[in-house]
Chains A and B, each alone.
Chain A
Amino acid sequence: MSHIYVFACQHRIPRDWRPPFSPEEINGHKVRLIQLPCSAKLSTVHMLRPFEQGIDGILVMACSEDTCRSLEGSRRARMRVREANSVLEEVGLGDCRVMLKQRNGSEPAMYRDALEELVAQTQALGASPTRGNNVT
């Protein structure tokens, strides 16, 4: 079972999945869904800290860059995702454990497809070398 953190813009979360009703498991993968007011609130360090605890990957669900209500938010998220992957690669975790999806919808199927794609990528890299380090 992969352990994935999902950071999502509030406008991209399915209505029934909003906290405190967020699913803890999707497609058999352990998931922690964190709602953000905008993907721009996601800093690089927010994406690195969970890897200290041994998660396998992070999915970032943001708006399309041309529809972001904060104008710059989704674009900034894209650059921070790139920075996080760059740091993870430098410390030997690979450069694709953080995946950004910029979409206009908010359907559960969108999450399921993205999660499968991310899990396939992380499994190709092998289990997170920090696994077992008190995942919460």
Chain B
Amino acid sequence: MIIAERKPVAEILNMIEGASTVLVAGCATCVADCMAGGEREVGILASAMRIALVREGKAVEIIEVTVERQCEREFIERIRELVEKVDVVISTACGIGVQAMAERYRNKPIYPGVNTTFLGLREEEGLWTERCAACGDCTLHLTGGICPVARCSKSLLNGPCGGSREGKCEVSEEIACGWQLIIDRLIELGQLDRLEANIPPKNWATSRDGGPRKVIKKELRDEKRKQS
């Protein structure tokens, strides 16, 4: 899922300077699971904003709403009435949700309430870690199901490097060496011989280097129907 972290309240208050009504709009999907921008976090953020604004002697109405998924137009259309009656929207969805809202409500300032951080999973209570860099050219079948791009600090496709010490990365003792994890996993699978194969240089055009990306499934597109 997409992992995010709430922005500091002070930063959010700076964004809404001058507004008299603000909608805090949450998303009940990824950012709810990582406890950054779901219904629960919308309540906490809205309450924190109200307290901070009262302290500053400002009268700002804060309205709360959470939609199932802000990255789906059908869901965000349902809050049109609320969006239209406020001056500013703080979206606690990921960057996709914020942009979906901005595209849908073109005359309304939509500001981010969270920092979208990475694609990862919940490792334990209160801890989320990165698993995927969305590079567009998956090599997990070669590396025991552990991603060298996301989990090696240098994103080496052939490792480990000389900075690996007792299973830890030279960047920090708190970071597991991604390539040590790959080796351990290949041993478990009886596939250690895969290390002998050199993984060729990656075509990074499928990643960010190729500009904004697009996935097209021609068979699912209806040319006769106007897309909205």
Contacts and interface: CB of A to CB of B under 8 A. Distances in A.
A60 B48 CA distance: 20
Given A52-B47, A92-B52, 8 more contacts: A49-B47, A52-B51, A83-B44, A87-B48, A91-B9, A91-B48, A92-B55, A130-B55
> For the complex, would chain B's binding face be called helix, strand, loop or mixed by DSSP majority?
helix
Interface in B2-33: 8-10
Number of contact residues on A: which range applies?
Answer: 10 to 19
6 contacts: A44-B43, A48-B47, A48-B48, A52-B47, A87-B9, A91-B9
A58 B22 CA distance: 28
Contact of A48 (B8, B10, B51, B55): B51
Interface string A24-61: 00000000000000000001110011011000000000
Contacts, number: 45
B175 interface: no
Contacts of B8: 90
B44 A45 contact: yes
B54 A90 contact: no
B54 A48 contact: no
B51 A130 contact: yes
> For the complex, would chain A's binding face be called helix, strand, loop or mixed by DSSP majority?
helix
A51 B9 CA distance: 16
Q: Which of A49, A91, A93, A133 has the most CB of B within 10 A?
A: A91
Q: Which of B40, B51, B55 has the most CB of A within 10 A?
A: B51
Interface of B: 8-10, 40, 43-44, 47-48, 50-52, 54-55
Contacts of B9: 87, 90-91
Contacts of B43: 43-45, 48
Interface string A68-97: 000000000000000100011011110000
A93 to B, nearest CB: 7
Contacts of B55: 91-92, 129-130
A45 B44 CA distance: 5
Nearest to A46: B43
Contact of B54 (A43, A45, A49, A130): A130
Nearest to B42: A45
Contacts of A49: 47
A133 B47 CA distance: 14
B51 A93 contact: yes
B44 A87 contact: yes
Nearest to B46: A45
A87 B8 CA distance: 10
A44 B51 contact: no
Given A90-B9, A92-B55, A130-B55, A52 B50 contact: yes
Contacts of A52: 47, 50-51, 54
Interface string A97-136: 0000000000000000000000000000000011001000
Contacts of A92: 52, 55
A99 to B, nearest CB: 18
A91 B44 contact: no
